[in-house]
Structure formats: C-alpha cells, structure tokens
Structure 1
Amino acid sequence: MRKRVAAVIGTAALIGAALPAVVAAPASAASFSCHPVGHAYIVNKEKVAVHASPSRNARVTGYVYKDNKVNAKLECENSGGTWECIGDCHDPEESLAGRWVHRGDLRG
C-alpha cells in the first residue's frame, strides 16, 4: 500500500514539474512576424471567412466572396501560415486585431 501511495505521489510530482514546460511551449509556437503591405488580392474561393485575428480558430467577423477585390494593409506570418489584414489593422506591437484573411484563400 505504501509503495502504491509513493508511486502516485511521485507521478503527481513529475507531472507537476513538467507542467510549466508544457504550458510554455505554445507561447513560443505563437511567434509571428509582420510587415506593412499595400497589395490588392482577389478572393479565390466561394466564401472566405474574415477573422478577428490571424488564426483559423479566431472569431469570424464576416465573409468575403469569390472574385471580390480586397486590399491588404498588413501581412503577418505565424505557425498557421500567412495572413493578410484587409481592414481595421492595428499595430502588431499593440495587438493583432483587425479583419484577417488567410493568404491561401486569395490570389494575386
């Protein structure tokens, strides 16, 4: 019985010690780089979601439709690919808010 309790406590201690490393990993994976652009693109899919931040998991704020022209003001790259900010773009030092479309959904 004591060995079993010791094993459970030891396992819990190891998990607790490893938890900060696991929690810290996504922060480094979320690194990104941005630069201003002034480029026009054409939407190449029937209906493309516009996101509140450059992530497929971000809240959808609207849609753009096939053959519509969009003007990118800011381009950012992260682990989710390249994203174009097409409106309400904020300085990336402050926040990554705006209207974001994945570059793979655009041509031009």
Structure 2
Amino acid sequence: MNQPSSDRIRAHAIISGRVQGVGYRASTWDMAQLLKLSGWVRNLRDGRVEAVFEGTQAQIDEMLRWCHQGPPAAQVTAVDVNYETPEGLQGFEVISSVRW
C-alpha cells in the first residue's frame, strides 16, 4: 500500500551569497534528483537563488543542509525557508529566466 501524500511537505527557500554564476542551480538539480525531490530552482534579479522543494521531511532536511553549502564555488551567507502547503509538483526543473 502506498504511503499517503500527507507525508509530503514543501519548503520555499531563498539562498543568499555568491550563488549565481557558480553552478548553483545545476548542482541543486543534481541534488534534487539524488534525493528524489520535486520542485524548481531559479535565479533572482538581486543575485539570490529561489527554490521550492517538495518531498518528505527527511528529504527536505537533507536538501536544505546542502543548500547552506551549495557547490564548491558558492559562498552561501543565508538560507531563508518558509514551509508551505505542497502542490503535488512532479519532477524538478531549473527555470532559466530571472524573476523580475
């Protein structure tokens, strides 16, 4: 029997620091695939990165731990997280356009 979908949570993260031009979005996609998370990641106009992750508490916790470090060239100064109601996203997407 499948687990109920109520075990899924959604984290909306804003990552600050040197996180653009260092492969942060591509590395986030890699880690999301490894952890089997759904959601998306994109650059913001102000130099931060925005991401949404949907999965279990354990998956989300691991992803957020990774976000605090990011890829080797990144210098993360803050990760601000809000928890929201999951939307049932499928797959993980890198959004290439900058949010204005």
With structure 2 as the length reference, what TM-score do the two structures score? 0.29
With structure 1 as the length reference, what TM-score do the two structures score? 0.28
The structure with the larger Rg is 1
Relative contact order: is structure 1 or structure 2 higher (C-alpha 8 Å, sep ≥ 6)?
A: 2
